[in-house]
Amino acid sequence: MLIRVGSRGSRLALTQAELAASRLRGPGVEIALVPITTAGDKDRTKPFGQIGARGVFVKELEEALLENRIDVAVHSAKDMTSSDPHGLAVGAYLEREDPRDALCGADAIRPGMRIGTASARRRAQLLALEPTLSIEPLRGNIDTRLRKRGERGLDAIVLAACGLDRLGLSGEIGLRLEPDVMLPEAAQGALALQTRAGEDELVAHVDHAETRRRVEAERRVVRVVEGGCLAPVAAHHDGTTLTALIAAEDGSWVERRTGADPDALGRELADESRRHA
């Protein structure tokens, strides 16, 4: 049996796709990797909000699934929308790796630093932590952003620790930011294997149940809050406690809550957002 695995074409995405492929390969199972360019890859200069909301790195992969051009799409789960499109489902989550954000170029956040990130979530939390920071927009793949840090003389940039780890670039990390300092994006650190609905048997045997439990709770919070790529919303389940936050992009207010029920937590944060509007 041949399984066509779709992935973005960046070095990190292909590394992640090969990781998924290594789990799926077995007796009688062959894997063909199919690189696909997404809207987020085509335009690497505009802010995410100008090229689409959450999902700019997954839409074309999902279309390829629905059009039967691939059988499995491998996503960084944090890039996915908070609910699955009609006809598609997450058949498996691989075991989650480090969900934390990483500060590259410095070992601490200090007043007045120039820090690069394209994430509204990171911007909001950084400014809430230290209002004197200068947060500068920075897009591109990991290698590009690391290079631009030096070219633009930035003091630091913030990236997902798991991506650096997967590429063997852990040495670039000056500080891994704990969730109580910077709450991660919902599902950060997890890889999602998406299939057509009813075809999850292709990947179900590699599903990591505990990762699914935590990630689905995080995605549920975001779905209730209805956060998009530019909405500073974050959610993280540490195995015991589900924590979520919503914030002003300028960091002027941050509402952080914990709870067991993702729906109740999401409604509470949505109410707080309206209160601040």
Amino acid identity at 15: T
What is the rounded end-to-end Cα distance, in angstroms, of the chain?
54
In terms of phi and psi (left: phi > 0; alpha: psi -120 to 50; beta: otherwise), the region of 154 is beta
In terms of phi and psi (left: phi > 0; alpha: psi -120 to 50; beta: otherwise), the region of 60 is alpha
The single residue of 79, 98, 101, 200 carrying the catalytic annotation is: 79
Distance separating alpha carbons of residues 201 and 89, to the nearest angstrom: 11
Provide φ and ψ at 70, rounded to 5°. Answer: -140, 165
Q: Is 98 a catalytic residue?
A: no
Residue pair 183/244 in contact (Cβ under 8 Å)? The answer is yes
Around Cβ 111, how many Cβ atoms within 10 Å?
8
Tokens of 134: 């200068």
> What is the DSSP track for 93-150?
EPPP----EEEES-SS--TT-EEE---HHHHHHHHHH-TT-EEE---S-HHHHHHHHH
Tally of helices (H runs) and strands (E runs) in the chain: 9, 13
Q: Look at residues 34, 50, 40 and name the one whose alpha carbon lies nearest to residue 2.
A: 34
For residue 73, count CB atoms less than 10 angstroms from its CB and return exposed for 0-12, middle for 13-18, buried for 19 or more. Answer: buried
| Distances 118 to 86, 89, 122, 158 between C-alpha atoms, Å | 29, 28, 8, 9
Residues annotated as catalytic (active site), given as ranges = 79
